[in-house]
Structure 1
Amino acid sequence: MAQENICAWDEDGKGQNIWDNLTHAYPELIKDQNNGDVACDSYHKYKEDVAMLKELGVNHYRLSISWSRILPTGFPYKINEAGVQYYRNFIKELKENGIEPLVTIFHWDTPQGIHELFGNDVKYWLTFNEPKQTCQQGYGSGKNAPFVKSHGLGEYICTHILLKAHAKAWHIYDDEFRPTQNGRYSHI
């Protein structure tokens, strides 16, 4: 079955994230009024993607986890096993092809329960994707979700919270998971 036109943004029990909600409710806020419903379709084509990465000689691959795919309600009482399995399969495919996964924990979606789900297979983790843009554009200028316009104060509060969250996540991982999972960190 050809899957070229299939979009997986809400497939297999994935819940909505803040960008899904925003782009569906307010398409006029996006320059061309597009959303992320149809994209490169890695959900269905991850094996093809990994084969191309291998052919290119890639030895590391950065991916982000869509927490709304794993925790559709945003709470841990409902874990979407299809979403967990997708990431397990993707990570396994990368590793079987000699490509080390580097996982971003937060890419503008809410993370929860990540170490229990993927910790034994992923050695490289990033706590936040583009923290500057998250705070400046999400809580300062209001150009990105959640579109809060609070220049100065909003950015300061966001930055303060992100730094504290990063430090807490780092210490939890370092104390509780690094000894058994052998995760690494870089000064990149």
Structure 2
Amino acid sequence: MALKGGRGPSIWDEFVRIPGYFDMINIIYVGMIPNNATGDVSVDEYHFYKEDIDIMKDYNFDAYRFSISWSRIFPSN
């Protein structure tokens, strides 16, 4: 999911795939990372942004902050 739409790998994408990463993290943060989650999907705004905007309209929000990953802007650098 993280690489969908032409996005290249980010530092975080690479970091969580270091061999032994989850062994080390699970010792430090016992039980805090369910199923060795990587953040590849997270809240999945890539697919749900329209629904999210509709919800914000329902709550009369007047501002919306979002970010775009550098690895989406420069996928190969």
- Both structures adopt the same fold (TM-score exceeding 0.5): yes
Preserved CA contact (<8 Å) 1:13 1:69: yes
1:88 is matched with: none
Aligned residues: 67
| Cα deviation 1:56-107 (Å, max 9, x = unaligned) | 1111111111110121122xxxxxxxxxxxxxxxxxxxxxxxxxxxxxxxxx
Q: CA separation in 1, counterparts of 2:41 and 2:60?
A: 28
Distance 1:16 1:62, change over 3 A: same
1:37 aligns with 2:32: no
Q: How does 1:35-184 map to 2 (within 5 A)?
A: 35-74=38-77
**Whose Rg is larger?**
1
1:20 equivalent among 10, 13, 18: 13
Preserved CA contact (<8 Å) 1:14 1:68: yes
Q: Structure 2: which 5+ runs fail to align?
A: none
Q: Which runs of 4+ in 1 moved over 6 A?
A: none
TM-score of the aligned structures, taking structure 1 as reference length: 0.33
Percent identity at matched positions?
40
Preserved CA contact (<8 Å) 1:9 1:37: yes
What is the one-letter code of the residue matched to 1:57? N
1:9 is matched with: 2
Q: CA separation in 2, counterparts of 1:27 and 1:12?
A: 27
Q: CA separation in 2, counterparts of 1:27 and 1:58?
A: 38
Q: CA separation in 2, counterparts of 1:65 and 1:38?
A: 14
Higher relative contact order (CA 8 A, sep 6+): 2
Root mean square deviation, CA, Å:
1.6
| Cα deviation 1:118-152 (Å, max 9, x = unaligned) | xxxxxxxxxxxxxxxxxxxxxxxxxxxxxxxxxxx
Higher strand share: 1
